[in-house]
Amino acid sequence: YDFGTEQGQETNDWGITAYIPVTDEKIANTLALKCLGQGANILYFNISSSIKDWRVVFKDIHLDYIHVIVSFKEEGELKSFIDFIPNNAKKYISISIDPFCPFDSELIIESGFKVMVNGFELEQIGANVTDQLSTILYYAETLIHKLDPKNISFEIGIGSDFFIELAKIRALKWLWSHILLKNEKSIPKTTILGRMGWTNKSLKDPDINILRQTTESISSISGGV
């Protein structure tokens, strides 16, 4: 059935995201600058340790031009990050939120950040496609009356089943459009970040890992990340 959720034949804007684990401020900054120099235009910072100086992490990174995604383990780190980031840069920054371990969304929204609903961890712990989509879409629907839908994006894990992963991304796009339509919201062009994990990777066979990552990339691109 046609629920009126077609978005037309708009071209896809590609982004190249570099994943930056932050355990040391200087090392993270060096890696981020190296990735930007090699063509990345989005930086994903996973904050897994206490940050003493945010200025070191973001040294020479122009937040007015580079889109940044940040994932936190502790709410205290989120609050210190909010205090550090200038107001004019917050519109370029998305905070990744795991629906199973959510932070205070009101705090994030009131601070002026965008929200990325994180379904990657669900895929990595073995959740099936139905559980992945239902969980992240349920959480996203709780946000649409507080936040403009254009400021909501999705992060999903890409598994090894080629056609299932392709269909999952297309289903996510269709279902999100349908939810927005039924809530009488405008349907923006939504960003979907496809992220490959490690649960099906080998510690001893890097060549096989490259083949797996290649097919996972093709399935996610075909789906429309």
pLDDT tens digits, one per residue of 129-181: 999 999 999 999 999 989 999 999 999 999 888 999 999 999 999 999 999 99
- Residue 210 has a pLDDT of 92
- Whether the per-residue pLDDT at 7 is higher than 60: the answer is no
Put simply, whether the predicted model's pTM sits higher than 0.85 gets the answer: yes
Q: What residues does 193 pair with on adjacent strands?
A: 155
**Contact by Cβ (8 Å): 68, 92:** yes
- Whether the per-residue pLDDT at 201 is higher than 90: the answer is no
pLDDT tens digits, one per residue of 17-70: 999 999 999 999 999 999 999 999 999 999 988 888 999 999 999 888 889 999
Interatomic CA distance for residues 24 and 37, integer angstroms: 20
| Length of the chain, in residues | 225
Residue (of 191, 188, 104, 114) closest to 156 by Cα position: 191
CA dihedral (211, 216, 222, 225) positive or negative: negative
Long-range Cβ contact pairs of 199-206 (< 8 A, separation 24 or more): 199/124, 199/126, 200/159, 200/160
